[in-house]
Structure 1
Amino acid sequence: MSPAYAGEPPAPTQTAPEIMRDVFAPLTLPDAPNRYRSGSGLPGPDYWQNRADYTIQARIDTATHILHGDETITYTNNSPDALDELWVQLDQNIYKDGARSTFTNPERHPRHTDGVTIEHVGIVVNGHETIVTPTISDTRMQVRLPADLQGHGSKLKLHVAWHHTIPGVWGGRTAVTPTKDGDIYEVAQWYPRMAVYDDKRGWDTLPFLGQEFFLDYGDFDYAVTVPWNFTVVGSGALTNPADVLTAKERDRLAQASKSDTRVMIRTAKDVTDPASHLARSGEKTWHFHMTNTRDVSFAASPVFVWDAARINLPPLPPAPGMKPVPRLAMSVYPREGIGPTGWDRSTEYVKHAIEYFSQQWFEYPWPNAVNLGGHGAGMEYPGIVFDGWDDKGVALFFITTHELGHGWFPMIVGTNERRNAFMDEGFNTFIDAYASQHFNHGEFAPKQDGEYAPKTGRPAEDILSVLKDPQAPTLMLPSELVSEKYRHPVTYFKSAYGLTLLREQILGPDRFDAAFRRYIKSWAFKHPGPSDFFRFMSSETGEDLTWFWRGWYFENWSPDYAIDSLSRAPDGIRVTVRDKGRLLLPVTLRIDYADGTHADRVIPTESWYLHDSIDITVAGSKTATRVTLDPDHALPETDRSDDQRAF
């Protein structure tokens, strides 16, 4: 009779070889390879992706908190299919009474509005606009086309006019937040935006229930009109600084582009000085441009203190017709955020995050990175993140680094957050844990901010509560089905720790880092799924990692080893090691000697292909005193009581 195993127990009559066949059997991944997605995990020779370019004009009525917008989307159908309809996301409808999210995630959007009012929808082809009547269902809008949009690069323009009320405080990541000097408008999910049509599902029309997003890439040209005393920061580059900034502000930005320490663009004194603005009445229109991005967001307020420093990366080539734009790390926040452990250090954190992630993984592709101190949504958008003005110390460092890390996952590597959140939150938590070690000689390391490593900051111990919990979901469970109880322990922490195990225990940093960098480069500005990632890492690293994908991602299995016996042999010692778990990670066997030295043997995964017990002979003339499995506690073993024996 075989011993009990962690995870789902084997059938009582199952032998050890049968159990190991289950562990190491071939794994059928959710998406089969084809001409679009290859068996190597790379985009296939016929990979295609549609494109959405936006021109948007918006105005905020601060008396009513209503945002009015008018946009033209240039949609390119690169698919092989002719499309008879378009699907558009209306995320602001999450706030309507009766919205689906009211029943599924009421805690995520306590504010209610009338949602978005669609004023006009038109299809523009060859300069001629045809007015159409859309069908709106919850947070989706179906636009039936007057004529099919052919594939292989055909284009049309979709013209939409709309308005909606910006929710009040919190509001589920888009909000109006009061401070002592005035309101901060944090504006996100604010414009009708194209749903994704891809090779996996056709139109991906999951409703917005309060989690996150899946979007196509394109260029954005957007303008925001606000009162004269407002400052606006947003995704991308400000293209009309002379129209909205004073000469002094422009000079300070020029200084910041040459400085590794922050330069004040707007000071605390400027906040209450009307003369610090270019105009004293009326409105100003702030114009931004961002290339090759999946989204844009912005913040607007009369209360902003604003500082900036340069990002030490090669300059970006300017967009057509534009001047080169310096790359800047920026922070904007109300006067309440000022302080030596508070937002005085924000730009230092922004600068480090962008430079470190660029050096380690993939170069940041956009001109600016902005940290907004507002309500504290802790939310990421390309080029700008929304954090809390009252964050301080380690909490401010962690949230800044984490939210900016999302610039890589999912802003550069465009995963589907609504379906596979572990490839977004978990992959990002993985890279920002290493950023915490790197910053200022580990000033804030290890990462254990209560959200991602909730107990000790030692992952092999912190993950045990998940691995031992029979109710814990697997990483492959669709995002919306993971309850709030498990969202951070599983989606963030387990996913991140899985990559740590892959890097530090299975592959080694050299092989992992090279493969992970190529994965990011290969799928930058594209849409990989879990199957693509699993295939890529196995192919690129030269390892059949099926057993790991099954045990860690598709199941909730854990490792557990035991020393069954220890004896002396004529030429050394003999150790019998038994496997009790179903996640067969490489494990270190350490032999301690009487002279104070030790020797390590790594037992590879392949040792367990046919049986659950192996005999290891360690030759040598020195007197051994003790043997230990996993002496550094690097593995998440569920039972360490039988990991050591002494003579």
Structure 2
Amino acid sequence: MMKLLAALALLLMGAPVMAQAYNPRETFAPLDLGQPVNRYRSANGMPGPDYWQNRADYAIRATLDTQAKAIRGTVRIAYTNNSPDTLDVLWLHLDQNLYKTDSRGYMAAGGKLRGTTDGMTLTSAEVAVGKARAVAVTPLISDTRAQLRLPTPLAPGETAIVTLAYHFTIPGEFGGRMAWGKSRDGEIYDLAQWYPRMAVYDDLRGWDPLPYLAQEFYLEYGDFDYWLTVPADMIVAGSGELMNPDEVLTKAQVARLEKAKASDATVMIRSPQEITDPASRPKRDGTLTWHFRMENTRDVAWSASSGFAWDAARINLPGGKTALAMSLYPAESQGADRWGRSTEYMKDAVERFSAKWYPYPWPAAINIAGPATGMEYPGIVFDGIDDAGKELFWISAHEIGHSWFPMIVGFDERRHAWMDEGFNTFIDVYESDEFNNGEYAPKRDGEYAPGGGNPVDEILPILADKDAPPILSRSDTIVEKWRHPVTYFKSALGLILLREQILGPERFDHAFRRFTAAWAFKHPKPADFFRAMENDAGEDLSWWWRGWYFENWQMDLAATKIAYVDGDPKNGALVTVEARDKLVMPVTLRVVFADGSRKDVRLPAETWIRQAATAVPVGGASKVVSATLDPDHKLPDKDRSNNAVTG
């Protein structure tokens, strides 16, 4: 033992002086997560014993005017104050105001929005606090928000009833997240952000009504009942469950829908050939009103068209529960290599995500082919009419994956888009690996990695760019150049590396599932996630959070020297490994000996917690032929030319 210690000391004394790029006290410094622990949010990353959350229940009645391309409606919101604070105002989101020429979003985009509207108009507003009678109020409109000043304060435990009448012009395809457009047999309307929605009041900021600059949403949970009056020749799909199928479908369609609920194979509810058949609607003239209900959700969206085909299949969930996977698409999207497999994709993704992470809680998972492509809402997603093959699978799995993040786990997308997009990209990477024995694997390219190769190589230009923002930047500040590389790709890769290289799947999966279940239908923040993973996994991961999330650091690990105890290979070998940049990770050191044997030594991140260079005892009784760090190419090492040393 004394010989080994002496050899280590001599080796370290003779080690080259490292450049100041790596400083252990910087990499492993204490990390302030910026969110104090209290009885609302515990030190273990879980909701605290006094965690509270306000609630918003909605009843919405809206009419689609296809001539004026407009929505007109009323919404009744039962807003319950579960906070310990007395509220004298309420805040609402009016996201349609994004499309006004003087909106903050228009200015933030440099005037590059592709089209404009007059935004959302509130024609009346009244509030009843507690048991008091309703009083008319005048909304104070500020960009995409409206403040309602209450006639009497809303005390803890009380409910206010807010009743609003509103209308807006539906954006064309410039709407992006929601829009109307044309298909071969009829117009398609993808409707989201279609009613005034309550802003969040939480324990960290109080009211948090950030303006809508196109960075998605942060909303309260509740139950939704909504009634949609549309032309009678239209088919409507909406978040949640259709409550009156007998009133809006033909008898044949009702029977087919019931069949689909018991079928693992896709059942056609309305075939492409039936789209133009008058018999495929209960009536062709006038209007019909569709009633949907969705419980414990933060939002609802819907789509309507006279040109939809429709199919469905059963989703098998844990505990014997079921739901419906459904797809609605125009005739030009049909085909076995196109939307004919959409329901198969949705069914598989929801089943795997449910089994692996958290059971899907809602009655349907719906994929829509329409003008608002690549957008997600609870239980319903909007994808492209022309999507096909692996692109359709990838986008379908990704968008329905958002049902978990941020629809079930209620992340604040306005501030922390990396949690929304990165967590979801992380889970759909594994879905792509597993679907149909890897039919569309691997999902490592497209919009998530620029070149489609090894992701730890694809990330290197991002880590090297001094202008690339850290993951923990405010979402609105990340320009389009970096939105996908950082918000999606780097965030997802961080979770993959944490799972596969730092913690291992067994520890990671347990911690990740525990976090997901604890925060389902709640509002976790980054600090909650970091604490939850550390507590369950039993690790101080501050070095990882700092290097990958708070900073945009690079990694350069090197194998630099082979030596022997007392100069004799029979006494065992020592391999010097060095950290030459600020980011470190656990790594495998593979040693090949002259006698033909091979040994893998797993080095923890703490190898570099006190010094930049460490002599690693690797044993052996013969000379070392080679020693290689990260031989299987799993880490984002910026210079692989120094990863190996030969004897």
TM over 0.5, shorter chain: yes
1:271 & 1:617 partners in 2: Cα distance?
72
Distance apart, 1:594 and its partner CA: 4.1
Q: 2:146 aligns with which of 138, 141, 164?
A: 141
- Report the equivalent of 1:49: 53
1:3 to 5, 12, 18: 18
Instruction: Give the C-alpha shift of residue 352 in structure 1.
Output: 0.6
How does 1:388-403 map onto structure 2 within 5 Å?
Answer: 388-403=384-399
Distance 1:585 1:315, change over 3 A: closer
Deviation of 1:380 after TM superposition, in Å, equals 0.4
Quote the residue 2:299 is aligned against.
Answer: 295
Please identify, of 92-101 and 139-148, the stretch whose mean Cα deviation from structure 2 is larger: 92-101
Map 1:225-236 onto structure 2 (within 5 A).
225-236=229-240
3-state SS of paired residue (1:492): helix
Q: Taking structure 1 as the reference length, what is the TM-score of the superposition?
A: 0.95
- Alpha-carbon distance between aligned partners in 2 of 1:30 and 1:419, rounded to the nearest angstrom: 15
How far apart are residue 68 of structure 1 and its match? Answer: 0.5
1:105-161 Cα distance to aligned partner (Å, 9 max, x none): 26874221111111110012437221111100110000000000001x210100000
Encode CA deviations 1:357-380: one digit per residue, 9 max, x unaligned: 000000000000000001252000
CA distance, structure 1, for counterparts of residue 591 and residue 476 of structure 2: 47
1:217 is matched with which residue: 214, 217, 221?
221
Deviations 1:433-488 (A, max 9, x none): 01100101111111034100221341110110111111110011100001100000
Give the conservation status (yes or no) of the 8 Å contact 2:562–2:624.
Answer: no
Q: Cα offset for 1:259?
A: 1.1
Q: 2:466, 2:383 → 1: CA distance?
A: 35
Shift of 1:621: 2.4
State the alpha-carbon separation in 1 of the partners of residues 608 and 515 from structure 2. Answer: 30
| 2-structure distance, mates of 1:133, 1:546 | 49
CA displacement, residues 196-245 of structure 1 (integer Å, 9 cap, x when unaligned):
00011110011001110000000000010001100000100000001001
Alpha-carbon distance in structure 1 between the residues aligned to 2:173 and 2:581: 48
Report the alpha carbon displacement of residue 579 of structure 1 after superposing the two structures with TM.
Answer: 1.1
Q: Can you give the 5+ residue segments of structure 2 that lack an aligned partner in the other structure? A: 1-15
Q: What corresponds to 2:205 in structure 1?
A: 201
Q: Identify which range, 251-260 or 488-497, moves more after superposition.
A: 251-260
Matched, 1:619 2:619: yes
**Shift of residue 3, structure 1, vs aligned partner:** 2.6
Deviation for aligned residue 1:575: 1.1
User: Which of the residues 81, 94, 105 maps onto 1:101?
Assistant: 105
Paired position in structure 2 for 1:128: 133
1:30-88 Cα offsets, whole Å, 9 max, x none, are 21111111111111111100000000000001110110010100000000000000000
2:643 is matched with 643
Measured in 1, the distance between the counterparts of 2:97 and 2:113 equals 11
Report the CA distance between 1:595 and its aligned residue. Answer: 5.5
User: Where in structure 2 are the equivalents of 1:237-248 lying within 5 Å?
Assistant: 237-248=241-252
User: Structure 1 residue aligned with 2:122, among 111, 118, 130?
Assistant: 118
1:80 is paired with a residue whose SS is: coil
Aligned AA (1:246) = T
Q: For residues 108 and 409 of structure 1, what CA distance do their matches in structure 2 show?
A: 29
Q: Which residue of 2 aligns with 1:346?
A: 342
Deviation of the 1:99 alpha carbon: 0.8
Distance 2:81 2:320 in 1: 28
**Structure 1 residue identity aligned to 2:57:** D
Secondary structure of the residue that 1:327 maps to in structure 2? strand
What is the 5 A alignment of 1:364-383?
364-383=360-379
SS of residue in 1 equivalent to 2:190:
strand
Instruction: Tell whether the 8 Å contact from 1:515 to 1:541 is kept in structure 2 after alignment.
Output: yes
Q: How many residues align?
A: 627
Report what 1:323 is aligned to: none
Does residue 606 (structure 1) correspond to residue 606 (structure 2)? The answer is yes
Find 2:429's aligned residue among 422, 430, 433: 433
Deviation of 1:193 (Å): 0.4
Structure 2 CA distance for aligned equivalents of residues 109 and 192 of structure 1: 22
The match for 2:5 is none
How big is the shift at 1:567?
Answer: 3.1
Q: What amino acid maps onto 1:630 in structure 2?
A: D
Structure 1 residues 517, 315: CA separation in 2 closer, same or farther (over 3 Å shift)? closer
CA displacement at 1:561 relative to structure 2:
1.1
1:584 corresponds in structure 2 to 584
Q: 1:243-258 to 2 correspondence within 5 Å?
A: 243-258=247-262
> Within 5 A, what are the aligned runs for 1:279-428?
279-313=283-317, 327-428=323-424
Report the Cα distance in structure 2 between the residues aligned to 1:430 and 1:4, rounded to whole angstroms: 35
Evaluate the alpha carbon distance shift between residue 453 and residue 357 of structure 1 in structure 2; reply closer, same or farther with a 3 A threshold: same
| AA partner of residue 163 (structure 2) | H
The answer to whether the 8 Å contact 2:372/2:382 transfers is yes
**3-state SS of 1:610 partner:** coil
Q: Using the TM superposition, give the Cα deviation of residue 339 of structure 1 relative to its aligned residue in structure 2, in angstroms.
A: 1.5
3-state SS, counterpart of residue 111 of structure 1: coil
In the aligned structure 1, how far is the partner of 2:318 from the partner of 2:354?
11
Counterpart residue identity of residue 252, structure 1: R
- Determine the C-alpha separation between the residues in 2 that align with 1:108 and 1:30: 35
**Counterpart of 2:604 in structure 1: which amino acid?**
P
- Aligned pair in 2 of structure 1 residues 331, 170: CA closer, same or farther (>3 Å)? farther
Q: CA deviation at 1:279?
A: 1.3
1:170–1:177: 8 Å Cα contact kept in structure 2?
no
* 1:270 aligned onto 2:274: yes
Q: Any idea what SS the aligned residue of 2:399 has?
A: helix
Secondary structure of the corresponding residue to residue 410 of structure 1:
helix
Q: Quick one: distance in 1 between partners of 2:592 and 2:318? A: 51
Q: Could you tell me how far apart the structure 2 residues matched to 1:164 and 1:88 are?
A: 16
Where 1:299 maps in the other structure, the secondary structure is strand
Q: For residues 201 and 273 of structure 1, do their structure 2 counterparts lie closer, same or farther at Cα, with a shift above 3 Å needed? A: same
Check the 8 A contact 2:171/2:180 in 1, yes or no. Answer: yes
Counterpart CA distance in 1 for 2:387 and 2:276 is 23
Partner of 2:13: none
Per-residue CA distance 1:143-186 (angstroms, 9 max, x = gap): 000000001x2101000000001011241211111112110000
Matched residue SS, 2:591 = strand
Q: For 1:438 and 1:487, locate their aligned partners in 2 and report how far apart those are by CA, in whole Å.
A: 27
AA matched with 1:500 = I
Q: Is the 8 A contact 2:329 2:370 kept in 1?
A: yes
Give SS of 1:641's match: helix
**Structure 2 residue identity aligned to 1:136:** I
Structure 1's consecutive aligned runs of 4 or more residues displaced over 6 angstroms after TM superposition are: none
Matches within 5 A, 1:629-640: 629-640=629-640
Say which of 522, 532, 541 aligns to 1:545: 541
Q: Cα deviations across residues 555-600 of structure 1 (Å, max 9, x unaligned)?
A: 1112211122113433232211111121220111101234554210
Are 1:533 and 2:533 an aligned pair? no
Structure 2 vs 1, CA of residues 300 and 122 (structure 1 numbering), >3 Å: closer, same or farther? same
Q: Say whether the 8 Å CA contact 2:470–2:550 is kept in structure 1.
A: yes
Inter-partner Cα distance in structure 2 for 1:314 and 1:39: 31
Match of 1:33 in 2: 37
Q: 2:93, 2:198 within 8 Å by CA — same for their partners in 1?
A: yes
Q: Cα deviation per residue 1:252-276 (whole Å; 9 max; x = unaligned)?
A: 1111111111110001121101111
Q: Does 1:516 align with 2:531?
A: no
Greater displacement, 513-522 / 103-112: 103-112
Code of the residue aligned with 1:172 in structure 2: it is G
Q: State the one-letter code of the partner of 1:377.
A: T
Matching residue within 40, 56, 66 for 1:62? 66
Matched, 1:482 2:478: yes
